[in-house]
């Protein structure tokens, strides 16, 4: 009799444990819809957005945002090939397309603003990219920071948030530089190249793209590390779908976790065969739990890393050192390398 009770209690405990391990994904969650459909509809671009969504010679998408789409599809289905559709959409179209179900998720360098978060019924993941407004200066000036441009001239777009941010920055840092404003982006760039101003203030990835195409060569220009202002770019899903939002957040966390642990697309198989710690073993799906709780396969993080690599690899390949843009990681690095990003705890 005592044994029977013990047995019952043990059975109940096991049942509870397994129930706890298998998260209940709501039936109306977008996650369920996507898994049943067998493919992910991710946001593309109508044209291209340098470094984040471009089209290669064979008409295939590439870029940071595209790689995040691929990572997500690989995490959900084991590999992205055949399970990912990049739907070309315009800027204006992204929110209605998300609500109507034309796409499952918006990964389209979209800044986290209060009105979008509250009024538009959107839910943001944690940011995956900090779009910094920075200064590009002529290399021959030898400037190392914006403070070195004291007494000089900066070109900036007229009436933009950039102009306001630059003015505030100069004032608060006691830098005496003149702001020269331009209505037109091309005019601004040309004036800078012709030497009207010592530096130009712009969104960092755009600066990097412009630097590559500078008429006197990329080496003649440096992007100064000071951050004038920030825009946090996140992944967006419809409001009120916590299961789907969890997947986005843990996808990003996994990419940073892999970077932190030194797991890359190349060594992921070795590390998985011989995990250095119980945490990494769990992360790569050697021991169960990491996927179950989200309603995903346990090796989902392994599949993502295998396909697109960790966050550093994604960054370098598309806008960082491994790409023509050669944009320094800066604030987008992990916290231990001077950036603002960090993985969450894998337990």
Partner 1 sequence: MTASVMPAALSRQPVLGVLKKKYFATRLDAAVTVLFAAFIAWIVWSLVNWGVLDAVFGPNQGDVCREDLEGGACWSVVSTRWRIVLFGLYPFEEQWRSGIACIAMVVVAILSCIPWFWSARRLPVLWVVGFATFYVLMRGGFLGLAEVTEQNWGGLSLTIFIFAAVSLLGMPLAIIFALLRRSKLPWIARTMALVIDTIRSLPLLTIMFTFAIVMPFVLPDWAIGDKLYRVIVGYALFFACYQAEIIRGGMQALPNGQEEAAKALGLGYWHRIGYIILPQAFRNALPPTINQFVITFKETSLVTIIGFFDVMASGRAASGTAEWNFAVVEMYVFVALIFYVFVFSLSRYGAYLERRLGVGRR
Interacting residues toward partner 1 by CB under 8 A: 44-51, 54-61, 85, 87-90, 92-93, 96-97, 99-102, 209, 212-213, 215-216, 323-325
The CB-of-51 to partner 1 minimum distance in angstroms stands at: 7
Q: What burial class does residue 298 get, using C-beta atoms within 10 Å of its C-beta: 0-12 exposed, 13-18 middle, 19+ buried?
A: buried
* Residue 208 near residue 222, CB atoms below 8 Å: no
Q: Please give the Cα distance from 338 to 162 (Å, whole number).
A: 24
Q: What burial class does residue 177 get, using C-beta atoms within 10 Å of its C-beta: 0-12 exposed, 13-18 middle, 19+ buried?
A: buried
- Between 57 and 347, CB nearer to partner 1: 57
Q: Please give the Cα distance from 227 to 133 (Å, whole number).
A: 6
The CB-of-92 to partner 1 minimum distance in angstroms stands at: 7
- Between 62 and 272, CB nearer to partner 1: 62
Pairing type for strands 61-62 and 199-203 reads unpaired
The CB-of-204 to partner 1 minimum distance in angstroms stands at: 15
Pairing type for strands 122-124 and 106-111 reads unpaired
- Between 149 and 208, CB nearer to partner 1: 208
Pairing type for strands 61-62 and 54-55 reads antiparallel
The CB-of-88 to partner 1 minimum distance in angstroms stands at: 4
The CB-of-37 to partner 1 minimum distance in angstroms stands at: 14
- Between 213 and 269, CB nearer to partner 1: 213
The CB-of-77 to partner 1 minimum distance in angstroms stands at: 18
- Between 1 and 92, CB nearer to partner 1: 92
The CB-of-106 to partner 1 minimum distance in angstroms stands at: 12
- Between 219 and 347, CB nearer to partner 1: 219
| Sign, Cα dihedral of 144, 145, 149, 155 | positive
* Residue 83 near residue 70, CB atoms below 8 Å: no
- What's the Cα-to-Cα distance from 88 to each of 59, 128, 174, 308, rounded to whole Å? 12, 21, 45, 21
- Between 28 and 176, CB nearer to partner 1: 28
The CB-of-57 to partner 1 minimum distance in angstroms stands at: 6
- Between 216 and 270, CB nearer to partner 1: 216
What six digits make up the tokens of 36? 């049943």
* Residue 212 near residue 218, CB atoms below 8 Å: yes
């Amino acid at each position: 009799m005592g044994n029977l009770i013990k047995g019952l209690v043990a059975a109940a405990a096991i049942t509870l444990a397994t129930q706890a391990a298998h998260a209940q994904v709501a039936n109306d969650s977008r996650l369920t819809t996507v898994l049943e459909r067998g493919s992910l509809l991710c946001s593309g671009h109508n044209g291209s957005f340098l470094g984040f969504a471009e089209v290669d010679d064979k008409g295939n998408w590439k870029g940071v945002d595209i790689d995040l789409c691929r990572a997500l599809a690989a995490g959900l289905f084991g590999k992205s090939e055949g399970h990912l559709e990049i739907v070309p959409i315009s800027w204006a179209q992204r929110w209605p397309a998300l609500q109507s179900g034309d796409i499952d998720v918006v990964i389209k360098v979209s800044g986290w603003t209060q009105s979008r978060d509250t009024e538009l019924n959107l839910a943001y993941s944690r940011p995956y990219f900090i779009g910094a407004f920075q200064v590009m200066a002529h290399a021959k000036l030898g400037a190392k920071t914006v403070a070195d441009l004291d007494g000089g001239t900066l070109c900036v777009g007229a009436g933009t948030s950039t102009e306001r941010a630059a003015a505030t920055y100069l004032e608060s840092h006691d830098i005496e530089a003149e702001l020269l404003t331009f209505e037109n982006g091309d005019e601004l760039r040309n004036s800078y190249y012709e030497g009207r101003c010592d530096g130009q203030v712009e969104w960092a990835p755009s600066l990097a793209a412009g630097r590559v195409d500078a008429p006197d060569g990329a080496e003649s220009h440096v992007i100064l590390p000071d951050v004038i202002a920030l825009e946090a770019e996140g992944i967006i899903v419809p409001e009120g779908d916590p299961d789907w939002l969890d997947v986005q957040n843990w996808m990003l966390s996994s990419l940073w976790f892999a970077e932190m642990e030194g797991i890359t697309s190349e060594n992921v198989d070795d590390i998985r065969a011989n995990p250095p710690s119980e945490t990494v073993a769990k992360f790569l799906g050697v021991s169960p739990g990491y996927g179950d709780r989200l309603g995903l396969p346990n090796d989902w993080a392994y599949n993502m890393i295998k396909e697109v690599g960790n966050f550093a690899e994604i960054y370098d390949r598309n806008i960082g050192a491994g790409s023509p843009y050669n944009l320094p990681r800066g604030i987008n690095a992990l916290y231990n390398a001077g950036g603002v990003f960090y993985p969450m705890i894998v337990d």
